[in-house]
């Protein structure tokens, strides 16, 4: 029986970090130190871990790193004042506000306040617009990581039918745009799609980002397809599971990402890549 090739996200992510490390060293020789500011508001345990990982990645790559840990009660005005300060700080090339924010803060107002040139999350409306019209912008990290995983698995995207399940602003919509940019024919499915199983089964490339543990099984997978699982769900037993029923799809898929160890590790690596890009642009160094 055939079994899918497992896409080792951690290994691919480590390879890209080596490339970034070399680029960072070259930039330092030119007197440029990429700088990332991460802002964390509140005590969300998962966010604390992710912010710690971002700080560690900056240290390993020799970036200038600042982490602003603000208390839960921080007002929107205080947060916007900090962003204004970081927008005007030449040491800082990238600003990332860790999401989710506490409920009393308007996420959109905060994202809109980040200068587009420092928007290393790629969430600013101008970055999103640039992505849609195909102009150069900093790409959202998880979607950019998905494209890297597909390419580095040796799968050609051009001419393929890609089906994206999920239409969030953070993953589903941008990943669909990136696949289109790579010349795939793209279908987006969502909670109101009538014939999702039928559509998904036509996909050469299936990307799932719905935030529902093990919701997609082998009935949705075309034999030999590449299946990219963006979901990270905590199960009642404390283990992590993706949106795809991994075990069930192993025999049908041609390639598949595991959770953990698939798309997740790429998110922070692509953030580091965006920070390098932003630093080069700020110092007018060609890409
Ligand atoms: N401003 C942002 N906030 C959030 C983003 C984002 O891209 N920008 N994404 C997520 C959290 N996130 C990074 O911030 C992130 C999520 C998951 C991973 C990861 O490596 N996951 C591992 C499993 C980790 C675990 O054991 O829990 C994996 O999938 O293998 C890295 C970063 C929400 N907020």
- CATH number, domain of 156, equals 3.40.50.720
Q: Is the pLDDT of residue 287 over 80?
A: no
Full DSSP string of 39-85: EEES--HHHHHHHHHHHHHHHHHT-EEEEEEE-TT--HHHHHHHHHH
Quote the number of domains for the chain.
2
Distance 93 CA to ligand 1 centre (A): 21
| pLDDT in the model for residue 286 | 84
Ligand 1, atom 17: closest residue by C-alpha: 264
For residue 89, the domain's CATH number is: 3.40.50.10860
159 and 197: one domain? yes
Q: Which residues sit opposite 208 in a β-bridge?
A: 165, 229
ipTM: 0.97
**What is the rounded average pLDDT of the residues 122-142?**
95
pLDDT in tens, 35-87: 999 999 999 999 999 999 999 999 999 999 999 999 999 999 999 999 999 99
Q: Is residue 12 part of a domain?
A: no
Q: Is residue 183 part of a domain?
A: yes
**What is the rounded average pLDDT of the residues 103-108?**
98
35 and 79: one domain? yes
Mean pLDDT of the chain: 97
165 and 246: one domain? yes
226 and 167: one domain? yes
Q: Is residue 53 part of a domain?
A: yes
78 and 180: one domain? no
Q: Is residue 14 part of a domain?
A: no
Reading phi first (left if > 0) and then psi (alpha if -120 to 50, else beta), residue 78 is in: alpha
| pLDDT in the model for residue 140 | 98
51 and 108: one domain? yes
Q: Is residue 133 part of a domain?
A: no
Distance CA 15, CA 82 (A): 34
Instruction: Assess whether the C-beta atom of 213 lies below 6 angstroms from ligand 1.
Output: no
Q: Is the pLDDT of residue 2 over 70?
A: no
Q: What are phi and psi of 123, to 5 degrees?
A: -100, -10
Say which of 117, 118, 119, 121 is annotated catalytic: 121
1 band by pLDDT with thresholds 50, 70 and 90: low
Least reliable range by pLDDT among 47-51, 135-139, 188-192, 254-258 = 135-139
Q: Is residue 120 part of a domain?
A: no
Distance CA 47, CA 97 (A): 10
In Å, the largest CA–CA distance within the chain is 59
205 and 152: one domain? yes
Eight-class DSSP state of 170: T
Range of the domain at 248: 140-264
pLDDT in tens, 200-245: 999 999 999 999 999 999 999 999 999 999 999 999 999 999 999 9
């Amino acid at each position: 029986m055939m079994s899918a090739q497992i896409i080792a996200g951690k290994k691919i992510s480590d390879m890209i970090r080596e490339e970034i490390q070399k680029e960072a060293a070259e930039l330092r020789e030119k007197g440029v130190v990429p700088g990332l500011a991460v802002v964390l508001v509140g005590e969300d345990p998962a966010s604390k871990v992710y912010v710690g990982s971002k700080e560690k990645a900056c240290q390993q790559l020799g970036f200038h790193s600042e982490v602003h840990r603000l208390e839960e009660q921080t007002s929107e005005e205080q947060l916007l004042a900090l962003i204004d300060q970081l927008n005007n700080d030449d040491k800082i090339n990238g600003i990332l506000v860790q999401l989710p924010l506490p409920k009393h803060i308007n996420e959109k107002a905060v994202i809109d306040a980040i200068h587009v040139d420092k928007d290393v999350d790629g969430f600013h409306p101008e970055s999103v617009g640039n992505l849609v019209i195909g102009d150069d912008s900093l790409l959202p990290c998880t979607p950019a990581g998905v494209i890297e995983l597909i390419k580095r698995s040796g799968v050609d995207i051009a001419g393929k039918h890609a089906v994206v399940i999920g239409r969030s602003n953070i993953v589903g919509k941008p990943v669909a745009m990136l696949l289109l940019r790579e010349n795939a024919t793209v279908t987006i499915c969502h909670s109101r799609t009538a014939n999702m199983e039928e559509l998904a089964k036509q996909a050469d490339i299936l990307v799932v980002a719905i935030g529902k543990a093990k919701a997609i099984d082998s009935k949705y997978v075309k034999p030999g397809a590449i299946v990219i699982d963006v979901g990270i769900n905590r199960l009642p037993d404390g283990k992590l599971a993706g949106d795809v029923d991994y075990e069930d799809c192993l025999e049908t898929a041609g390639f598949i990402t595991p959770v953990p160890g698939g798309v997740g590790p790429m998110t922070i690596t692509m953030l580091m890549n965006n920070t390098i890009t932003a630093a080069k642009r700020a110092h007018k160094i060609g890409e």
